[in-house]
Structure 1
């Protein structure tokens, strides 16, 4: 996932400050995810709480910062780009719901819940990989570059 992120940053980085911030948040989330998922012992409640906060911040940033630009571009797009966007956005919404379920489950997890953490982190990793791919496809499909507000350069 880190390799794909670097490719995305190389392709889309510097286009717009909101997109750069979003990609940096993605990277921070991914680094923390890797750290948690490779932990040999259960993380502390504070570590898990921090990660859950990053997860919510990331999915929120997508919906409230990047997707506003995406939706504006979507509304003016036509043809295959519009069809692809119509297919991708509902999948991102379902993915968001699952990420928020992880957050809700682990923000104040008890010892019994923590026993499920490895399995849930594996599932979350799959979700994040899917989400990153969907977000990249959505941005590329509607050629966000041409539709972003040029008054706010990187």
Structure 2
């Protein structure tokens, strides 16, 4: 998961400061996830759990309130109807993964993360959903920025 995060930053780093900052948050999220997953027992480490949940909520929120808007605006500015359609196509999955992340956060913030087996299973499910989400986000960013880079070069 961390390797794909580093690859994404190499591909789009510098394209837009907002995306750069967001990709850095993703890297922090993956690191916090690994630390929490590897802690024994993970659910008992309130500091790691709290740090992970804070980064998780910030990351998924940034997509909806910053990144999504930027990508859609960029696609519309370049008349990229296929990019807008692709974005809309993954929006439902992104929203569902956000709900799952927020449910995980709510569950843990209420102190309900006390069963080690249940916690480990929920963390594993969340990790899998995040991995799928990262791939979709990367695909969308790649498709939009590749198309727009070519359009911007043609206008120059």
TM-score range, shorter chain: 0.7 to 0.9
Count of residue correspondences = 146
- Which structure 2 residue ranges, 5 or more long, are not aligned? 150-156
Distance 1:24 1:18 in 2: 10
Structure 1 residue 143: Cα displacement = 2.6
User: Taking structure 1 as reference, are residues 7 and 50 closer, same or farther at Cα in structure 2, changes over 3 Å only?
Assistant: same
The answer to whether the aligner puts 1:53 opposite 2:69 as a matched pair is no
Distance 1:20 1:132 in 2: 14
Which structure is higher in helix share?
Answer: 2
Could you say which residue in structure 2 is the equivalent of 1:78? 81
User: Taking structure 1 as reference, are residues 111 and 77 closer, same or farther at Cα in structure 2, changes over 3 Å only?
Assistant: closer
Q: 1:73-100, CA deviations, whole angstroms, 9 ceiling, x for partnerless residues?
A: 3433123x33322211121111111111
User: Taking structure 1 as reference, are residues 93 and 110 closer, same or farther at Cα in structure 2, changes over 3 Å only?
Assistant: closer
Could you say which residue in structure 1 is the equivalent of 2:134? 132
1:93-104 to 2 correspondence within 5 Å? 93-104=95-106
Whether the 8 Å CA contact 2:60–2:98 is kept in 1: the answer is: yes
- Which structure 1 residue ranges, 5 or more long, are not aligned? 148-154
Distance 1:56 1:90 in 2: 18
Runs ≥4 residues deviating over 6 A = none
Could you say which residue in structure 2 is the equivalent of 1:68? 69
Structure 1 residue 111: Cα displacement = 5.7
Distance 2:74 2:49 in 1: 36
TM-score with structure 2 setting the length: 0.83
Distance 1:85 1:112 in 2: 38
User: Taking structure 1 as reference, are residues 58 and 124 closer, same or farther at Cα in structure 2, changes over 3 Å only?
Assistant: same
